[in-house]
Amino acid sequence: MSHESPEMMAALMKQAPEMGPLGKYFLECFGSFNFEGVTKKLPKNTFSGKTERQVGDKVVELIEVGPAHTNGDVLVHVPSDKVVFTGDILFIEGHPILWAGPVKNWINACDRIIAMQVDFVVPGQALLQTTEASEL
C-alpha cells in the first residue's frame, strides 16, 4: 500500500468491516495500524548508492539496492555488530513480492547480503534470523 495516502488507508479501515471477505483480509493485514492523523513527510536528506552515518558509537551503512520490492529498497548494515536490516528484501519462509523492480535487482541485493558475512539478519516482516537459520 505504498501508493495510498494515510487518509485513504484510514478511510479503508473504517469501511473494511462492511467489505466482506476482502475487508476481513484487509483488517488481518492492517488492523493493528492506526492511520488516523498520519501525514507523509519528504526526507530532508537523500542519497544514491551508499552512504554512512554515525549513530552513537556505531558506523551504519545505508546501501541502496532497489528497485526490487519497492523503488526505495535500502539495506542497513552495522558492520561492528555483524548485522544487516533488510527491510522487505528478505521474506523468511515465503517468496518476495517485487512491486517495483526486476528479479535481477533482488538477486543482486541477496548477493550483497551474503557478501557482508554478517551473523544476524533482521528482515522487515519476520523475526531476527541468524545467517545459518536464513540459509544465506
Q: What is the pLDDT tens value at each position of the chain, 136 positions in all?
A: 556 788 898 999 999 999 999 999 999 988 888 888 888 888 899 999 999 999 999 999 999 998 988 888 999 999 999 999 998 888 777 777 778 888 899 999 999 999 999 999 888 876 667 666 545 5
Phi/psi zone of residue 79: left (φ > 0), alpha (ψ -120 to 50 degrees), beta?
alpha
CATH code of the domain covering residue 97: 3.60.15.10
Provide the number of structural domains found in the chain: 2
Tell me how far apart the alpha carbons of residues 75 and 136 are, in angstroms, rounded to a whole number: 15
Is 111 buried (19+), middle (13-18) or exposed (0-12) by CB count in 10 A?
exposed
Which amino acid is located at 70 in the chain? T
Q: Quote the domain boundaries for residue 123.
A: 50-130
Q: Specify whether the CB–CB gap between 90 and 76 falls below 8 A.
A: no
- Do 58 and 117 sit in the same domain of this protein? yes
Q: Specify whether the CB–CB gap between 107 and 136 falls below 8 A.
A: no
- Do 15 and 36 sit in the same domain of this protein? yes
- Do 61 and 114 sit in the same domain of this protein? yes
Tell me what pLDDT residue 135 has: 55
Tell me what pLDDT residue 98 has: 79
- Do 54 and 120 sit in the same domain of this protein? yes
Asked if residue 87 belongs to a domain, the reply is yes
Tell me what pLDDT residue 6 has: 87
- Do 80 and 113 sit in the same domain of this protein? yes
- Do 58 and 89 sit in the same domain of this protein? yes
